[in-house]
Amino acid sequence: MTELDPTELAARALGRDPASVARAISLVEDRRVESEPRAVALLRAFAARGRAGSCQRVGITGPPGVGKSTLVSALIRGWRGAGRTVGALCVDPSSPRSGGALLGDRARIELDAADDGVFVRSMASGGQLGGLARAAGAAVDVLSAVYDVVLIETVGVGQSETDVEHVADTVLLVVQPASGDVLQFIKAGIVEIPDVLAVNKADLGAVAERAVAELRGALRLSLEQSGEALPPLCSTSATTGAGVDELRATLDGHFAALVADGRLAGRRLGKSAAWAARLFAQRHGEIGVERAGGAPALRAALERELAAGATLVEALRDAARGLDG
């Protein structure tokens, strides 16, 4: 396939051509050194002409089987009904033996093939811990330039996979009835990062109501020391649609508050720097971080680069200069 000029590829993707959006994401996923200049040029073209500043980024995480993909499908229908375009990134686990991935999450997402206002991309985690793939941040940047809302669905997570907070403006944690007692919720590091929570499968009745009560109690115990307010807690059924509109309104409200308070830009910059620092540490190890001046200095340097307009690829490249010197 003939390689398009990155500026032309960006222009086609911004016109919501699905094939061009897919090719753009493939380019930023490409880890070959020779592909880096084209990826940088592409991301710069998106930054100059895209809508990333007004895009709403929602991360959706939760344990396997909770109904994340079905809930994503229901949320997409709601946003499309409101006239908003949606891009979704679904991260699937990779096999620890073969390295392959089924990429089956989007099979549960109902799409109208003729609707260019929706784009869904599956991405293998590549064995990455934390619930996301290495290229997820750059892929989110691509989708954010093209669509009004970007959804990032993580792999089914346990008690420590919290990377989604680095690429989303709003983190939604979805839990299911009979998923554990209050102690289990408190033990889960994941309970500390959500901006909004939802107990899915509310159609199960009493057992779902009990899960809502237990989760609310866990949140009170977890947050009582800090004095933070309890995040909104919704009850939904992705299959029947019950509570989905209320959940969508809650997600929209959280994003609107970030915009109104002037917190969105600073929040995104801090999250992007944290994600870049994590990628740097994975690529160069503890010794590399020490040679870069230590974790705090590295993160501060990355944040300065990103604030000055550097792409994620450029910031990581510049931070790595001199490590072998």
Q: What 3 state SS string does 71-84 have?
A: HHHHHHHHHHHCCC
Domain spans, the chain:
1-50, 51-261, 265-320
Helix (H) or strand (E) holding 185: helix 182-187
Tens-digit pLDDT profile for residues 54-105: 899 999 988 888 888 899 999 999 999 999 999 999 887 544 444 444 444 5
Tokens in use for 276?
A: 């870049």
pLDDT digits (tens, 9 = 90+) for 261-279: 999 999 999 988 988 898 8
Residue 173, phi then psi, degrees to nearest 5: -100, 125
Out of 2.40.50.100, 3.20.20.70, 3.40.50.300, 3.30.420.40, select the CATH number for domain 51-261.
3.40.50.300
Residues 149, 58 contacting (CB under 8 angstroms): yes
Parts of the chain with a pLDDT under 70: 1-2, 93-110, 125-134, 156-162, 179-191, 225, 322, 324-325
Look up the pTM and report it.
0.88
Query: Of 21, 172, 149, which is closest to residue 85 (Cα–Cα)?
Result: 149
Give the per-residue pLDDT at 96: 41
pLDDT of amino acid 222: 74
What three-state secondary structure class fits 90?
strand
- pLDDT for the residue numbered 4: 80
pLDDT at site 127 = 47
> Measured between alpha carbons, how far is 75 from 59 in angstroms, rounded to an integer?
12
Could you identify the residue written with the tokens 């995480």?
61
Contacts of 101 (CB under 8 A, 6+ apart): 92, 93, 94, 95, 122, 124, 125
Q: Beta-carbon neighbour count of residue 210 at 10 Å?
A: 14
